[in-house]
Amino acid sequence: VPSIAFVAGLPKAELHLHLEGTLEPELKLELARRNGVDIGQSTVEQVRATYEFDSLASFLGVYYPAMDVLVTEADFYDLATAYFRRAAADGVRRVEAFFDPQAHTSRGIPIETVILGYHRAAVDAAGLGVSAELILCFLRDFTAESALETLQSALPYLDRFIGVGLDSDERGNPPAKFAEVFALARANGLKLTMHCDIDQVGSIENIRQVLEEIQVDRIDHGTNIVENPELVTLVRERGLGLTCCPVSNSFVTADMKAVEMVALLHFGVLVTVNSDDPAYFGAYVADNYLALAEKAGLDTDELVQLAKNSFQASWLPDAEKQAYL
């Protein structure tokens, strides 16, 4: 089994990372103090004890309330900066990070506070050797109108994010619900990606929608595609990246989906490894490579391939991408 030092030494891109999912208990307590927010816990151990879940729904039930401590631009800056430092130590050279504006605007935080704080951190990440960009995610359990209003309110900041995504609870919230807002995003030059979470009801139909109706540039998770060979072939032919998250999978479905990821990798699909919500799942990106390697018995060549895939699937300009391939 390869060592963590080998994995951390591989240059890699992280393409499935929720900035709000990087909120470590220590920072949560500090922000709660700073903003006078009563979170009901006062020690790291108490906070960590709340980070417990065994499904996407129970995870989301812990995840969104935790965001109450994020109030000022400096809070968003500090959260993202802590992550970029940790990612740099794992050999991450490129990050395309998700953020959830509606999780904040719905609490009365202006969208500019969120975007400007995160964006300033992304700019400063260059000083750590990390090229960082942002992907604005819509919450799929909110209405399509709310997504549209969110995109419209973000249009003045179009130079501060490179794409849009879709996250939160997939059940009853298929991709087609957001066809209009994603078309508007595309018309504004943004890249498109959507979560196709693990083992959802209607998963294959949702994957079909993201490919045919939305025409995404990438798929987040998406390993259920193995159930449909035609869709696998389509994803391979289009060269679409799948942003897989092994440790996250083990939490929300009790199955890492290692067999599926490795089968897709060997078939030539652009499988990538990512951390999703590292503070909650206790594993940053290098830990995710290692967890998959241990589970599936990957050799160093396969780990190198996964790291190269992460750049190939990234939205880096081609000239910059080539340097890593």
Tell whether residue 195 is among the known ligand binding residues: yes
Least distance (Å) between residue 247 CB and ligand HPA: 11
Tokens 């590292």 map to which residue?
A: 278
Task: State the binding partner of 75 from ligand HPA, Zn ion, none, CB within 5 to 8 A by kind.
Answer: none
Q: Is 104 in the site for ligand HPA (CB under 6 A)?
A: no
Kindly tell me which residue out of 8, 15, 18, 269 binds ligand HPA, with binding defined by CB under 6 A. 18
Give the Cα separation of 162 and 182 in Å (integer).
13
Tell me if 141 is assigned to a ligand binding site.
no
Nearest to 209 by CA among 187, 185, 184, 192: 192
Instruction: Please list the residues that pair with 134 across neighbouring strands.
Output: 97
Contact pattern from residue 34 through residue 73 relative to ligand HPA, giving x for each residue in contact according to CB under 6 A and a dash for the rest: ----------------------x-----------------
Decide which of ligand HPA, Zn ion, none touches 12; Cβ closer than 5 to 8 Å per partner kind: none
Binding mask 145-164 for ligand HPA (x = CB under 6 A): --------------------
Angle at 64 between CA 56 and CA 105, to 5 degrees: 130
DSSP-based three-state secondary structure for 171:
coil
- Ligand-binding site membership of 266 (annotated): no
CA-to-CA distance for 119 and 132, rounded, in angstroms?
A: 9
Nearer to Zn ion by Cβ, of 168 and 209: the residue is: 168
Taking CB under 6 A as the criterion, the residue among 24, 167, 217, 287 binding ligand HPA is: 167
Residue 197 binding result from ligand HPA, Zn ion, none, given CB thresholds of 5 to 8 Å by partner type: ligand HPA
State the minimum distance, in angstroms, from the CB of residue 189 to ligand HPA.
25
Flag whether 18 is marked binding.
Answer: yes
Check binding of 197 to ligand HPA (CB under 6 A). Answer: yes
Side-chain-facing half-sphere of 10: CA atoms under 13 Å = 27
| Residues paired with 219 in a beta bridge | 194, 242
Give whichever of 75 and 276 is closer to Zn ion, judged by the CB atom. Answer: 276
| Of residues 33, 74, 27, the one with CA closest to residue 47 | 27
User: In this structure, which amino acid lies at residue 45?
Assistant: E
d(CA 31, CA 70): 7
Residues that bind Zn ion (CB under 5 A): 276
Q: Judged by CB under 6 A, does residue 208 bind ligand HPA?
A: no
162's CB contacts (< 8 A; 6+ apart) are 96, 133, 134, 135, 190, 191, 315
The span from the CA of 250 to the CA of 248, in Å, is 5
Annotated binding site for substrate: 277
Annotated binding site for Zn(2+): 16, 18, 195, 276
Q: Which residues bind ligand HPA (CB under 6 A)?
A: 18, 21, 56, 167-168, 195, 197, 248, 276-277
